[in-house]
């Protein structure tokens, strides 16, 4: 047994870039990685006020430990710039969390090319090209990537065909990058179930129907997702895996 106690901040000295990190699940992930010692780089597109609030909150706990970067992830040419800004802020990049995502219904017969480009762009295209831009730094530092997938990558979500296809591509991205970037970079995913209800989308009856299909009988929390991301970031012998954090919903018929 080692005489040295494990660090209470296992990510000390590492830098984590979280896309869509200013609100909701992304903010919970950012807080958790920051609490574990990481220098946090929060990406946002339009949520500047939320990003500034989170910056102030976390900087009060550890001054100089948070940076902000802004970009539209649909602009492929801008993605290498996110990596460059991260390097300018901290000199390194160890962890990339591809969290940012668009989500809304696209019923067959009503879907548009613009919706296709947005949903495929945020959920598949941007994670790929940002990972590609980040790969040299992650390889140099023995880093890792965690994608936010979805349980609907395997079971299509009704009236969300484009989103479901995009998340299926995201899931394959986890597996293929785990092979392409090994052995220097580990790549994993987290597939949330019912965590945060989409704003102005589900009626009470819809929520009840979903809860009835969850063996644990309740929705999860953003902290459940953040804790799983921290596990994957900290586990040196796990790669190519997608962990469903869904209260057991994915095992239901």
What the block records as the tokens of 229 is 């991301």
Tokens encoding 232: 């994957």
* Catalytically annotated residue among 44, 104, 163, 237: 163
Q: How far is CA 121 from the centre of its chain?
A: 15
* CA nearest neighbour of 35 among 60, 8, 68, 17: 8
Q: Is 44 a catalytic residue?
A: no
Active-site residues, by number, are 163
């Amino acid at each position: 047994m080692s005489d040295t106690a494990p660090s209470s901040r296992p990510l000390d000295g590492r830098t984590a870039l979280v896309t869509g990190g200013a609100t909701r699940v992304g903010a919970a992930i950012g807080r958790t990685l920051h609490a574990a010692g990481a220098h946090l780089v929060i990406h946002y597109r339009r949520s500047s006020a939320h990003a500034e609030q989170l910056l102030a909150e976390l900087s009060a706990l550890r001054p100089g430990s948070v940076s902000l970067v802004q970009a539209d992830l649909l602009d492929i040419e801008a993605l290498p710039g996110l990596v460059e800004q991260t390097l300018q802020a901290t000199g390194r990049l160890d962890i990339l969390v591809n969290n940012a995502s668009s989500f809304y219904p696209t019923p067959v017969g009503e879907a548009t090319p613009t919706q296709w480009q947005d949903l495929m762009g945020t959920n598949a295209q941007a994670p790929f090209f940002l990972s590609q831009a980040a790969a040299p730094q992650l390889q140099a530092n023995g880093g890792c990537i965690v994608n936010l997938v979805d349980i609907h990558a395997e079971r299509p979500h009704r009236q969300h065909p484009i989103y479901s296809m995009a998340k299926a591509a995201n899931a394959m991205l986890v597996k293929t990058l785990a092979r392409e970037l090994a052995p220097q970079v580990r790549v994993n995913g987290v597939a949330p179930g019912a965590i945060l209800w989409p704003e102005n989308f589900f009626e009470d009856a819809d929520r009840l129907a979903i809860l009835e299909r969850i063996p644990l009988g309740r929705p999860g929390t953003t902290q459940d997702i953040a804790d799983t991301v921290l596990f994957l970031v900290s586990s040196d012998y796990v790669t190519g895996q997608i962990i469903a954090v869904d209260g057991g919903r994915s095992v239901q018929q």
